[in-house]
Structure 1
């Protein structure tokens, strides 16, 4: 009952009849991937994960609320200016999950207006930024109702609520390196909400650029939420979980020592392991496109010839994240545009906050 004790606000609510709140929340890119959720649990990961929160890749959500005059609550959702009824089932499921922790929601009608500045459902963690933005809006309403709300509680609960909408969304609440899921080597890590990475990090890892190659803008045929379920029948799941635990320990050491080459090798291994799990699930499926593979080979060849610190990672989609130190930006970015632009629809220049 830890969740109820910590996140159920027992303080008296103020009375408000209507209002509007707006929040902007970034996407994130996982370095240690989580893939698979515990059965019979709501959004509890099989393994801990760590991500960088991204700048310049975000969702903006405007949440209008008004007191219910009739018995039935109304929720409408507009995406990029158009009503999107196909998104509503996920939103309604989210509101149902969080109703125990946000009892005040039952008294309001809602209009959700949201947009991304990047393609949705294509493997750039659009659900992470959208659900975290919505959760931050909900917490802003709670803050209006409970003026004494502390910032630490605000962020923890926002992360907790986000998780109930999209697992990786809980990491988008905080900037920088963020951890979600219990790991014995990371203080205060837990499965209920994310925390900022609590240990000292070598300066080289505080100035990382992420250039995103949008190989495919179309929504994925199989959403991540479905893909997670397939891990329950994956014959390699146990080995993957051991590997993820080991890689988290390795990453903790790497972040302290500042070894960028080992960092790069690790995140590439994690990305390819994620896709190995996708390709060996039952049913199996494939997220990569031919140009994804072309880009990976080009990056490997470039790194071998130039000795530059350019490494890739992938989410559960076709698009490629290229991570490299800011001090090597000029040379690497020029090469990306000249050699990789032909393989993708667009290039998004971002950075790790």
Structure 2
């Protein structure tokens, strides 16, 4: 399949104005994507848990306009106009116009809100761009009502990727693969794919408690970080490692091997940050409290035998992952021992979710 698959024919309906709302979740990668080619194509495959509670809610208002010479839109975050978001949306619209030729025919009002702190290492760009892509696809479906549902979600993932790479993994749940891998039939660099193989009960309703170590703006944007992989001395080995890890994860997920799962995802998290620390220029996104939390988790796991683990995104916050049947003991430990390392004691209890939802 190529990009041509997503270039539409002329639409059959006329729509003057309207409004549509979608909520779309963030996701947390287990095998990490770090490094990209042109047009948001990943250098290596990744797989993620779709979250349930950490989400963006976006309402897209649209009305026909007389001139079709340019894009016209306004953006509001939590009710406040955000002109500083406009350049990113402008770039997104330019990238997707060939796939959504109606974009210049409408004036848009984009109203969005997050259930979690913006730019804090939780993937707000993933949930935000996927929610916007779904809103635009809803308008596309109004113009072409015969569009099949499978194509709707696949194209929404394809479009979301052009806004933010990891956004293509936020459309559906509960496990999503993005990036071509010989190990995953149907996997593609162009969109996220619902994991097609057997998953053991151990990984159903898996828990993710997100410890907000630092809720401020990141020192280095993900875009800059990805670009630093182009001449990275360890890039080739890292990309191969991700392929190998995704292949190893298949039997782990099928057999429910929690110990092997923990070893693999923690290695992935630390490798991601090792790539940042060995790039040129180098940078460190972990904070002292990030390391305190990691060491506490290791000690508690060794002492109790419970299947608590961590992963990290490109930031200081810690995602504490654990099976639902061990939740009561582990959550007690988190509250008693780990929350003290969070900024203002803030943390979010989340779990695996099943993807985005349209709100009527």
Q: TM-score, normalised by structure 2?
A: 0.96
Counterpart residue number, 1:206? 204
Counterpart residue number, 2:56? 59
Q: Retained in 2: the 8 A contact 1:58–1:116?
A: yes
Structure 2 distance, partners of 1:242, 1:74, is 43
How large is the Cα RMSD of the aligned pairs? Answer: 1.0
Counterpart residue number, 2:357? none
Out of 289, 292, 296, the residue aligned to residue 290 of structure 2 is 292
SS class of match (1:103): coil
Out of 154, 176, 179, the residue aligned to residue 156 of structure 1 is 154
Structure 2 distance, partners of 1:91, 1:284, is 29
Structure 1 residues 42 and 73 mapped into 2: Cα distance closer, same or farther (>3 Å)? closer
Structure 2 distance, partners of 1:2, 1:103, is 18
Q: Aligned ranges for residues 139-218 of structure 1 at < 5 Å? A: 139-218=137-216
| 1:259-308 Cα shifts (integer Å, max 9, x gaps) | 00110111000000000001111111111011101100110111111111
Deviation at 1:333, TM superposition (A): 0.2
SS class of match (2:230): helix
| 1:176-205 Cα shifts (integer Å, max 9, x gaps) | 000000000100001000100000111111
| 1:120-141 Cα shifts (integer Å, max 9, x gaps) | 1111111000000000000000
Q: Retained in 2: the 8 A contact 1:121–1:223?
A: no
Counterpart residue number, 1:10? 9
Structure 2 distance, partners of 1:226, 1:76, is 26
| 1:143-172 Cα shifts (integer Å, max 9, x gaps) | 111010110000000000000000000000
SS class of match (2:229): helix
Structure 1 distance, partners of 2:83, 2:70, is 18
1:124 pairs with 2:122: yes
Q: TM-score, normalised by structure 1?
A: 0.97
Q: Retained in 2: the 8 A contact 1:31–1:51?
A: yes
Higher RCO, 1 or 2 (CA under 8 Å, sep at least 6)?
Answer: 2
Structure 2 distance, partners of 1:105, 1:72, is 9
Counterpart residue number, 2:350? 350
Structure 1 distance, partners of 2:147, 2:294, is 47
The runs of 5 or more residues in structure 2 that have no matched partner are 354-360
SS class of match (2:310): strand
Out of 103, 108, 125, the residue aligned to residue 105 of structure 1 is 103
Structure 1 distance, partners of 2:185, 2:108, is 38
Deviation at 1:73, TM superposition (A): 3.7
Q: Aligned ranges for residues 224-263 of structure 1 at < 5 Å? A: 224-263=222-261
Structure 1 distance, partners of 2:10, 2:87, is 31
Structure 2 distance, partners of 1:142, 1:343, is 46
Deviation at 1:11, TM superposition (A): 4.7
Structure 2 distance, partners of 1:57, 1:99, is 29
| 1:53-72 Cα shifts (integer Å, max 9, x gaps) | 00111000011111113454
Out of 42, 45, 48, the residue aligned to residue 42 of structure 2 is 45
Q: Retained in 1: the 8 A contact 2:23–2:57?
A: yes
Out of 78, 84, 88, the residue aligned to residue 90 of structure 1 is 88
**Number of residue pairs matched?**
350
Find runs of 4+ consecutive structure 1 residues off by over 3 angstroms: 70-73
Counterpart residue number, 1:283? 281
SS class of match (1:112): strand
SS class of match (1:42): helix
| 1:323-350 Cα shifts (integer Å, max 9, x gaps) | 1010001100011001111100211000
Structure 2 distance, partners of 1:12, 1:105, is 13
SS class of match (2:49): strand
